[in-house]
């Protein structure tokens, strides 16, 4: 074998980053065994290539080239996205965030790097993504359960550990329940703050009432895990594991639709329109919009402290004390909403949980419709609105 001392070598057809991953996984990036080269310092060299030549990188067969290329164009590999670049100015990723925003942090949290499991106890560098080792680490076979924010301990097998660790959210209805315990329902409390369920909460939606991610109202039953139709019963049943894309073709076995959004699973209308020719996503979106309108009306009419939602900046809900439709500013910064009541906080939490999962209509439509209905019914009480009279259904 001949020794190539050019770490910047890039294989034809692959990006530098994807090539680096291939080299790391294939053993090319490993030091050759002592005696493999021609000089005493060969053990410190970077890459080993065939001795015979002329050598053309494109001639080397890469068995997982297609998988790497698919992964590289997925959201999991986009190092420039907010999900992976948010901490660049800090120089490291906060431990509380690192588990899901870096492959290195994921391995640290689960002890796949030899550290203690259950906590990120090392410094996690910026620049990481959901890399190959996040889902292909042999140690995943030893992870048998994942704990959700609600306290649910859910059994997992293999790569399910990766999906459910990072798409469960970071808060659940129990956190809201604890925050508002024994407080008057419609009295603003300056100590209350918006509780964010976090982002891309597909697993939380999928497990439904069993996962208890939403705020559950007393005396109400909630649909559990959405099994769909076997064998469509896991993340990889629908999502191609590297591109993350979903193919419509398998759906057409049971559904008639030109788009995922047009698939309907119910004969009744949930949003009061009576229109059952549209996909169930239409009912969910209409009820989510109605719930947000009711939250605004409640904060204005009942609390007397209007709220403005801005999905582009945390904590998303901001003050509009003078009711002019503009977010209040203080020292050049927007003023977070500080007039939450227990009623408005729990309904806003459910609204955010539902809307933060863009695939809610596929992951568990029954559960999200139940959360929306119960939240609207809750707000309707002090505003004397009977949501059944306007045709809404649970």
DSSP-assigned letters across all residues of 259-322: SGGG----SS-SBSS---SS-HHHHHHHHHHHHHHHHHHHIIIIIS--EEE-TTSTT-EEE-TT
Judge if 127 and 218 occupy the same domain.
Answer: no
In a shared domain, residues 244 and 356: yes
Q: 283: closest CA among 251, 255, 261? A: 261
- Domain extent, residue 198, equals 173-304+339-380
Whether 250 and 132 map to the same domain: the answer is: no
Distance, CA of 253 to CA of 258 (rounded, Å): 13
Burial 277-293 (b: 16+ CB within 10 A, else e): ebbbbbbbbbbbebbbe
Statement to judge: residues 179 and 282 lie in one domain: yes
Q: What integer pLDDT is reported at residue 5 of this predicted model?
A: 37
Kindly state whether residue 321 falls inside one of the protein's structural domains.
Answer: no
Number of domains in the chain: 3
Domain end position, chosen among 66, 87, 111: 66
- Radius of gyration for the chain, computed over Cα atoms and rounded to the nearest angstrom: 25
Q: pLDDT tens track of the chain, all 394 residues?
A: 333 333 333 333 344 444 444 444 444 334 444 444 444 454 554 555 566 677 777 777 777 889 999 999 999 999 999 999 999 999 999 999 999 999 999 999 999 999 999 999 989 999 999 999 999 999 999 999 999 999 999 999 999 999 999 999 999 999 999 999 999 999 999 999 999 999 999 999 999 999 999 999 999 999 999 988 877 888 999 999 999 999 999 999 999 999 999 999 999 999 999 999 999 999 999 999 999 999 999 999 999 999 999 999 999 999 999 999 999 999 999 999 999 999 999 999 999 999 999 999 999 999 999 999 999 999 999 999 999 999 999 9
Return d(Cα 60, Cα 164) in angstroms, integer. 36
289 & 191 share domain: yes
pTM: 0.85
State the pLDDT at residue 49. Answer: 59
Looking at the structure, do residues 283 and 230 belong to the same domain, yes or no? yes
Predicted confidence at residue 75, as pLDDT, reads 96
Is 256 part of any domain? yes
Which pLDDT value is given to residue 294?
98
Distance CA 126, CA 87 (A): 7
Q: In the prediction, which pLDDT does 37 show?
A: 45
Per-residue pLDDT at 58 = 76
* Contact by Cβ (8 Å): 361, 284: yes
Calpha distance 169→167 (Å, rounded): 6
pLDDT score recorded for residue 304? 97
Would you say residue 155 lies in a domain? no
The answer to whether residues 19 and 120 belong to one domain is no
Same domain, 21 and 117: no
Question: How does pLDDT run across 169-195, given as a tens digit for each residue?
Answer: 999 999 999 999 999 999 999 999 999
Return the structure tokens found at 366: 């029954």
Same domain, 270 and 351: yes
Residue 387, domain member (yes or no) = no
Assess contact for 321 and 315: CB atoms under 8 A.
Answer: no
Residue 318 lies in a domain: no
């Amino acid at each position: 074998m001949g020794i190539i001392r050019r770490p910047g070598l890039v294989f034809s057809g692959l990006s530098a980053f994807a090539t680096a991953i291939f080299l790391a996984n294939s053993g090319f990036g490993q030091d050759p065994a002592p005696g493999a080269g021609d000089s005493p310092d060969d053990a410190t060299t970077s890459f080993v290539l065939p001795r015979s030549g002329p050598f053309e990188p494109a001639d080397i067969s890469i068995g997982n080239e297609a998988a790497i290329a698919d992964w590289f164009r997925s959201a999991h590999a986009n190092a420039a996205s907010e999900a992976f670049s948010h901490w660049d100015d800090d120089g490291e990723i906060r431990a509380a965030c690192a588990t899901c925003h870096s492959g290195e942090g994921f391995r640290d949290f689960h002890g796949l790097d030899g550290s203690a499991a259950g906590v990120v106890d090392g410094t996690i560098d910026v620049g990481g993504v959901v890399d190959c080792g996040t889902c292909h680490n042999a140690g995943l076979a030893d992870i048998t359960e994942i704990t959700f924010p609600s306290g649910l301990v859910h059994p997992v097998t293999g790569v399910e550990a990766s999906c459910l660790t990072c798409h469960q959210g970071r808060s659940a209805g129990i956190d809201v329940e604890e925050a508002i315990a024994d407080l008057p329902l419609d009295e603003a409390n300056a100590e209350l703050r918006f509780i964010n369920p976090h982002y891309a909460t597909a697993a939380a939606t999928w497990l439904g009432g069993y996962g208890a991610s939403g705020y559950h109202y007393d005396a109400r039953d909630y649909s559990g895990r959405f099994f769909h139709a076997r064998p469509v019963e896991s993340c990889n049943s629908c999502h191609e594991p590297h591109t993350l894309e979903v193919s419509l073709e398998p759906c057409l076995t049971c559904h008639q639709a030109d788009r995922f959004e047009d698939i309907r699973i119910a004969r009744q209308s949930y949003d009061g329109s009576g229109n059952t020719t549209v996909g169930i996503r239409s009912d969910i979106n209409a009820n989510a919009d109605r719930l947000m309108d009711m939250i605004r009306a409640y904060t204005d009419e009942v609390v007397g402290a209007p709220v403005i939602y801005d999905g582009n900046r945390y904590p998303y809900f901001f003050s509009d004390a003078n009711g002019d439709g503009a977010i209040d500013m203080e020292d050049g910064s927007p003023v977070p909403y500080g007039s939450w009541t227990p009623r408005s906080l729990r309904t806003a939490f459910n609204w955010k949980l539902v809307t933060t999962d863009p695939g809610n209509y596929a992951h568990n439509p029954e559960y999200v419709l139940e959360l929306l209905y119960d939240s609207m019914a809750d707000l309707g009480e002090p505003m004397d609105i009977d949501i059944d009279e306007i045709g809404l259904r649970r």
